[in-house]
Structure 1
């Protein structure tokens, strides 16, 4: 989704993109479990996101 808006309203289509916030948040938990990564923090900005992640060595070993 490179360059696509993650929030606000897309002026050309007249529709909002707030549903992407929930989609990203819903995916962080299962993906962090799958890849043994802890999510410390995240920021969702209009066109990109900033996750703060850490490796979980105990989870990765098992």
Structure 2
């Protein structure tokens, strides 16, 4: 019998062009635009137990 995993609430980040970097900080230069594909991100932390269930179910396969 497999474990039941309920996905946490997520936010949708739409595909778009995003400005990253910061010209004011040497380590972050230069500010530039990148295109990111859309993705979902959990609204809270994922527990070790949730991550273990994800891996057992073939996560990243």
Which structure is richer in relative contact order (CA contacts within 8 A, separation 6 or more)? 2
Which band: TM-score by shorter chain?
under 0.3
Q: Which is helix-richer, 1 or 2?
A: 1
Q: Which has the larger radius of gyration?
A: 2
TM-score (norm 1): 0.23
TM-score, length basis structure 2: 0.23
